[in-house]
Structure 1
């Protein structure tokens, strides 16, 4: 059990009085994760970290056969859960149990095979394959693709495992949507931004790009790797996420140097008669302008 979560009953048993607990809560030394469950200091601002606290805080009220599932299992597996609500803890119990959707916990009732259950951080959770299928049946296409891309990229699962999980229960509700999302998933996508970009490109009706295209000169010398490439159309696409540039900055390195090196890299790409089209996170919510820039380049090339 996570030591960060303190139960009221445990604190009382340790000698704290109800009055002391109220004083600690008023002072901010303790914060309520949920009624009867506290964390020292302020709760984390990060929604994923808060969800983990909600999960551990809910353990006392869950049945012994409850298995962490859906988005809660994705969080346990360390997968990005962009755009998926984290206000409820999700668990699954065998199909003989009844499901319920409470304010803080959603209990799903569904069959669970032994190979669909794994241990993660001391908790029983659905396997990566089962987690992805459950999520892809329940969340929008874009969110499902982002989680599946990350699982494939991090080698938590291989495409044959996904195919087997989809085929295991062919009549489940939502399975057609899950098949579409998981068939679209690609291990070469390196971030949620790149996953969302792939979806946006497909929805705009643009040609399918080569992911992580390695650009080389005629003599074979490596020029650079780009997020999206259309070799025949002499165009590259780059998603400019803030985290991307942060990852490129080495300890002690000036961020301006990283930006300068990126400019030199882009100059080299252009020298190979490649147009470079860039976009950022805000563009993904209204991709039309970026799609039009790409189309103009495709036609002019």
Structure 2
């Protein structure tokens, strides 16, 4: 482009310089692959995209993060900068694959790292999302590969938490908030609920699918996402009445309850007391 064109591009905002020595079109400042490639150019090889960045490139949308994460060998000189986190880690060439033309950690390694060091709820939703839609044998293989990565980790911090989250993941949740809701109730001491529990009609046809359920107690917990349920309050109320006619207690949670779950947990406790009292 030439020095003058570069300076003019920076001055007019057409170009942006996320880190020293690398330029991008300003319009691509929120484009993950572009930013990731800029980070790799800035740091220089050897380096591989890792953590949330690797997971996002693998299609795990719940970990969306504007900060770029990459890993370098311990001996390499590279420092974190605003918008760029450099991790030092021992890894093998076989741990790195190509995603969108960029070097990145394999899915099992990225998940293992994030389960240990990432935000707990996001990490659980990430591994659940990674399993979504996989055939049972592929899901089992992914779980085993991540478990092996955890066993092999030199840094043992977060291992116990990671193993618990991995064991709880099913890949059956329809959305990350449903995964997070499941984690909240389990951590609150409730039994692990069934995911996407099917309610059939008398003649065996599918009637309803419950987000979370304790079928032996006939307690259901449904997550109402704003976009999906804003216009469905009447239909949901009618469904809850029909379920009540079948002996079910239905509790509904929203995004607000994920941030402050005390109401949902209190209603769940009351429902469990009622059911267990009846059983007694």
TM-score range relative to shorter protein: 0.7 to 0.9
Q: What's the counterpart of residue 108 of structure 1?
A: 87
Q: What's the counterpart of residue 8 of structure 1?
A: none
Q: What's the counterpart of residue 261 of structure 2?
A: 287
TM-score, normalization by structure 1: 0.77
Q: 2:180 aligns with which of 196, 221, 244?
A: 196
Distance 1:76 1:223, change over 3 A: same
Distance 1:17 1:199, change over 3 A: closer
1:167 equivalent to 2:151? Answer yes
1:187 equivalent to 2:171? Answer yes
Alpha-carbon distance between aligned partners in 2 of 1:293 and 1:212, rounded to the nearest angstrom: 20
Tell me if the contact between 2:24 and 2:34 (Cα under 8 Å) persists in the aligned partners.
no
Alpha-carbon distance between aligned partners in 1 of 2:128 and 2:211, rounded to the nearest angstrom: 14
Give the count of matched residue pairs.
Answer: 268
Alpha-carbon distance between aligned partners in 2 of 1:162 and 1:118, rounded to the nearest angstrom: 16
Q: What's the counterpart of residue 98 of structure 2?
A: 119
Alpha-carbon distance between aligned partners in 1 of 2:156 and 2:249, rounded to the nearest angstrom: 45
Moved over 6 A (4+): none
Tell me if the contact between 1:277 and 1:294 (Cα under 8 Å) persists in the aligned partners.
yes
Distance 1:286 1:270, change over 3 A: same
Alpha-carbon distance between aligned partners in 1 of 2:273 and 2:79, rounded to the nearest angstrom: 54
Describe the SS at the equivalent of 1:101.
coil
Q: What's the counterpart of residue 79 of structure 1?
A: 60
Q: What's the counterpart of residue 272 of structure 1?
A: 246
Pairwise CA distance, 1:138: 1.2
Structure 2: runs of 5+ lacking an equivalent = 276-280
Distance 1:133 1:227, change over 3 A: same
Tell me if the contact between 1:80 and 1:192 (Cα under 8 Å) persists in the aligned partners.
no
1:147-190 superposed Cα distances (whole Å, 9 cap, x missing partner): 11111114386211212222223654433332233223221122
Describe the SS at the equivalent of 2:216.
helix
Pairwise CA distance, 1:285: 1.4
Pairwise CA distance, 1:33: 5.8
1:63-111 superposed Cα distances (whole Å, 9 cap, x missing partner): 22211001110111121345x7x35321112344356333332222222
Q: What's the counterpart of residue 140 of structure 1?
A: 119
Pairwise CA distance, 1:116: 1.8
TM-score, normalization by structure 2: 0.82
Cα-Cα RMSD: 2.8
Q: What's the counterpart of residue 191 of structure 2?
A: 207
